[in-house]
Amino acid sequence: MRLSGKVAIVVGAGQSPGEGIGNGRATTIRFVQEGARVLAVDRNLAAAEETAAMAADSGGECVPFEADVTREATLAAMVAEALRRWGRLDILHNNIGVSIGGGDKPLEELSEEAFDRVSAINLRGTIMACKHAIPAMRAQRSGAIVNISSVAAYENTYPLVAYKATKAAMIAFTQQLALHNATYGIRANCILPGLMDTPMAVDTRARASNRSRAEVAAERDARVPLRGKMGTAWDVANAALFLASDEANFITGVALPVDGGALVKIG
């Protein structure tokens, strides 16, 4: 029970339609399995409710909550609900992110509207969630924030502008967050997932390109150095669990790749 007694918020606890399990849902379940009381937050309340029901099967406490990361007031309400219900906030996990689903394109095709949409979801939402969580953590003089970036921040051939830019900015923001809150005992780290077999990553691309899921999955598998197989949401969830737990008590400001060797290959 590595998170016993801790209160966590997982933003993006639902998932996109498709096969398998997404990063936010898997992380919520892992946190509950390890003893945390979790507020499972998503724009789609039905998806958050489904995640909460799955997490509750492990015997822990998980409560769904509706919030939209593009609306700051709902993020403030999210933090207020966790504090009202449990009296503290130990972990904030920001899992929200879109790419082609938000209209992202290569530079020559990118619209202003799509860039603003992806930026608001991928970056501004995380920043605003942290804005409202930090006062509670400072008052406790403890807390752990785990943000999700991507290997796309460093990948030398990644074509989509807004996703790459926002995920690179997430690393810089997390480093700033870590440094400015270290004296309060607050840690901030981010995870850089590589090619993952999740509904958002695979099924969304299959629909957008009018190809089968199997074809898209095989193409992605072939690009992974480690075993020639994509990672799963559980790989991201386990990394988030480590960074959120006391096992990472002396780790802050880190960008942790969970990528099957992708960045080694790029280097």
Does residue 1 sit within a domain?
Answer: no
- Look at residue 38 and tell me whether its pLDDT is greater than 90: yes
β-pairing verdict for 143-148 and 62-66: unpaired
State the pTM of this model. Answer: 0.95
Nearest CA-CA partner of 8 in 66, 30, 22: 30
Does residue 224 sit within a domain?
Answer: no
Give the structural domain span for 22: 7-197+232-255
β-pairing verdict for 7-11 and 186-193: unpaired
Q: Which of 14-18, 89-93, 116-120, 136-140 has the weakest average pLDDT? A: 14-18
Q: Report pLDDT digits (tens) over 166-204.
A: 999 999 999 999 999 999 999 999 999 999 999 888 888
Q: How far apart are CA 138 and CA 32, in angstroms?
A: 24
Residue type, 63: V
Predicted confidence at residue 211, as pLDDT, reads: 94
Active-site residue, selected from the candidate residues 154, 158, 163, 184: 163
List the CATH number of the domain containing 38: 3.40.50.720
How many domains are contained in the chain? 1
Does residue 120 sit within a domain?
Answer: yes
Print burial letters for 46-77: b (CB count within 10 Å at least 16), e (below 16): ebbbbbbebbbeeebbbbbbbbbbbebebbbb
> In Å, what is the CA distance from 93 to each residue of 30, 110, 182?
12, 29, 18
The yes-or-no answer on residue 163 being catalytic is yes
